[in-house]
Structure 1
Amino acid sequence: MSVWNVVVLDGDTLPKRPFALDFEHNLVWYGQTAAEDVAARIADADVVVTNKVVVDEAALSGNSRLKLIAVTATGVNNIDLAAARRLGVAVCNVRAYGNESVAEHAFMLMMALMRNLPSYRRDMRAGLWQQSPFFCHFGAPMRDLNGKTLVVFGRGGIGKTLADYAKAFHMTVLFGEHKGAESVREGYVAFDEAIRRADVLSLHCPLTDQTANMIGAAELAQMKSDAVLINCGRGGLVDEAALLAALQNGTIGGAGVDVLTVEPPKNGHPLLEAQLPNLIVTPHMAWGSTEAVNRLFDMVLDNINAFAAGKPQNIV
C-alpha cells in the first residue's frame, strides 16, 4: 500500500501516548480544529481521526482520497454518514470502552442525590453542624437504595452495567420501553409506567429524533415527587428548562447530569447558574476514567490498523 496521510483533528481529547500505527504513514496532529478549518485540514487525508469535530458533506466532498473516518467515541452524530457512504468513505467508532466508567459515574450521582450529599455540604459550609444542640445534624432527608426502583432507558453495555451495580444494592431494576412504542418488548416496561414507578430514572440511550426531549414537563410531572433523574447520555434527551422548573418547584427530588445540550456552555447555562442543593452537574467526563481513556485509545489504533490491513471492524 502507498503511504497514507493520517490527520487527527482534536488530539487534545486523547491521552498523551504515541500514536503508533502498523503501516507506513504520515501523521498530522492537531490539538483542536475549528469548523472553518476542517475541509482544508483533511483535504489530502486518507484517514481522519476525530472525536467531536464535525465532518460534513462539504468537507468530505473536497477529498477524493479519503478512505476512513475513525471516530474516537461511540457516538457518530458529528459525521454526515449518508454523505460518507455515498462517497465510499468508511466510518468506524469505539464501543464499550467506558461501560464501567459511565455506569460508576451514574451510580455515584444516584447515591449522592439519594443521600442528599450536596445539601449536607451546603449545611456544613453554613456552619449548621456547629450550631446543632446535638451530636448530629439532620437536614434534607436521606434515602437508602435498598428496596428502591431504578429505571434505565438504554439497554446497552452501560445500562446493563449500571443495572448490575444497582442489583448489588438490592434495588429493583426495570428497563423502560421506547417512548411512543406500539408494543412493549419482553423484559421491558411501558414508557409511562416506567416513569411513574422510578425512584431513580437513568438515561443511557443515544440522541435521535425519537429520543430528543424524551423527558419533558409532562414526563417530569408523572415522576414521584422524591424521584431522582440521572442523565449521562446526551443533553438533548431532557428538556432542560422543564427540568430546572421541576427541581425548583419540587416536582422531583433531584437530578444529576453529566451532559448539556450545548457543550461547553461558554455562554452560561441555567442549570449551572441555579446552584440548587438537589442538582449536580458534571462536565461531560463520566466516560473519562484513566482506564477507559486508555482502552479507547487502544481501540482507535486497532480500528485503523485493522482497516489498513483489509480487515475493517466496528464500521457504523
Structure 2
Amino acid sequence: MKICILDALTLGDDVDLSVFDRLGEVSIYDATLPEEVVARIQDREIVITNKVVLNRSNLEYAPQVKLICVAATGTNNIDLNYTQSRNIAVSNVAGYSTRSVVQHTFAMLFYLLQSPSYYDSYVKSGKYAESGIFTHLGRPYWELYGKTWGIIGLGTIGQAVAGIAREFGCQVVYYSTSGENRNPNYNRVELEELLQAADIVSIHAPLNKRTFDLIHYEQLQLMQSHAVLLNLGRGGIVNERGLALAIDEGLIGGAALDVLEHEPIDKNNPLLTIKRRDRLFITPHIAWASREARLTLIQEIVKNIESFMHGVPRNIVGQGG
C-alpha cells in the first residue's frame, strides 16, 4: 500500500512514526497546505490526516485512494458525502484522549481557581521575603466541596469529569446538547438552569448546528459572578466576543479555553485584548495531547489500516457501497 501522512507535526516529534513502514511505502509530511494536497495524495491508496481538509476538490484527482484515516475523533474535515460516492472508507479513533482531556480540565480549573502563577510570582519577586506574616491572601479562592458543577455534553469525557467532580464533593448537573442523553446518575437540566446554578461550567460537546454559538453574551449574563467557564469541547460553542465582554464587565469569575473558533488564534481575536487578563486562561488545543494519548492514537491508526487491509475494517465512519 502507498501511504501518506499529511500533517505529522500535529502528532508530535516525540513519537515513532516508523511503525507505519511495515504497512507499505510511506511518505511523511510535517504539514500540508491546501494547494499541496493533490500532489501528495494523487498516487496514494491510504491517506492519514489530522486537520488537513479532504473533499471533492482534491480527492477527485486521487483515484487510488481507498482509505482515509483521520488522526482524531471528529471527521468534520472530510467530505463524507463525496467519500461515500467514491466508496472511500473513512476511519477515526475514539476514546484515545479521554484521560488526557479530563486531566487538563482540572488543570485549567485550578489555574484559575488557585492562582498558582500569581502566588509563584509573588514569592519569586522577593515580596514574600519582605513580608511580616507567614501567608499572603492576595487572591482568595474557594473550595469545590459543596459547589455545583454543570457539564454541557455528558459523553465519555463529560462523565469522567463528572465522576471526579463528585469525588471533590460537587453536585453535578448536566445539559444534553443532543436532547437524547438521559443519564440516571446525574440530574439533567435545561441550559438556562445549569448556567444559573453552576459554580463551574465545563463544556465537553462536539461542534454542530445545535452547539454553534451556544454560549454567548446573553447566556453568560445568567451565570454567577464568581462562576468559572471551561471549554474543552470545540471552539465556536462559546462566542468569543461575548466572552471577552463578559469577563471585562465582571459578569463571571473567569474562563479557561483549550479550543477556539479559529486555530491558531486570529491576531485580532478580542480575547487577546481583554483588560482583566488574569481572569482568562487559554491553551493551544493541547488537552488531547498527552504523550500516552498520542501513542494510543498512532497504535489505533495502525490497527485501522491493518484491519482494512485484511478486509475487516474497523472504526469506519464513512463507507460507500
TM-score, scaled to structure 1: 0.91
Find 1:6's aligned residue among 3, 20, 29. 3
1:294 offset after TM fit, Å?
A: 0.7
Q: Could you say what secondary structure the match of 2:172 adopts?
A: strand
1:161 offset after TM fit, Å?
A: 1.2
What residue number does 1:247 align with? Answer: 247
What residue number does 2:115 align with? Answer: 116
What residue number does 2:310 align with? Answer: 309
What residue number does 1:165 align with? Answer: 164
Kept in 1, the 8 Å contact 2:97–2:288? The answer is yes
Output the amino acid matched with 1:212: F
In 2: Cα distance, 1:184 partner to 1:84 partner: 30
Q: Deviations over 1:230-269 (max 9, x none)?
A: 0111111110111111111110001111111111126353
In 2: Cα distance, 1:145 partner to 1:112 partner: 14
In 2: Cα distance, 1:195 partner to 1:9 partner: 40
1:115 offset after TM fit, Å?
A: 2.2
In 1: Cα distance, 2:125 partner to 2:175 partner: 40
- The list of structure 1 runs, each at least 4 consecutive aligned residues, that deviate by more than 6 angstroms after superposition, is none
What residue number does 2:237 align with? Answer: 237
What residue number does 1:197 align with? Answer: 197
Output the amino acid matched with 1:13: T
Alignment CA distance shift 1:218-1:70 (3 Å): same
Kept in 1, the 8 Å contact 2:154–2:181? The answer is no
What residue number does 1:296 align with? Answer: 297
In 2: Cα distance, 1:220 partner to 1:124 partner: 34
Output the amino acid matched with 2:217: A
Unmatched 5+ residue regions in structure 1?
none
Q: Deviations over 1:146-169 (max 9, x none)?
A: 111111112222111111111111
1:114 offset after TM fit, Å?
A: 2.2
Kept in 1, the 8 Å contact 2:216–2:242? The answer is yes
In 2: Cα distance, 1:292 partner to 1:24 partner: 22
Q: Deviations over 1:26-75 (max 9, x none)?
A: 21111110011112211111111000111121112112221111000111
What residue number does 1:257 align with? Answer: 257
Alignment of 1:25-36 (within 5 A): 25-36=24-35
What residue number does 2:71 align with? Answer: 72
Output the amino acid matched with 1:58: S
What residue number does 1:214 align with? Answer: 214
Kept in 2, the 8 Å contact 1:230–1:256? The answer is yes
1:125 offset after TM fit, Å?
A: 6.5
TM-score, scaled to structure 2: 0.90
What residue number does 2:43 align with? Answer: 44
1:124 offset after TM fit, Å?
A: 5.0
Aligned residues: 311
What residue number does 2:278 align with? Answer: 277
Q: Deviations over 1:100-145 (max 9, x none)?
A: 1001100111122222334445655666545644222112220101
Alignment CA distance shift 1:239-1:122 (3 Å): farther
1:173 offset after TM fit, Å?
A: 1.3
In 2: Cα distance, 1:196 partner to 1:302 partner: 45
Output the amino acid matched with 2:304: N
Kept in 2, the 8 Å contact 1:103–1:161? The answer is yes
In 2: Cα distance, 1:236 partner to 1:91 partner: 25
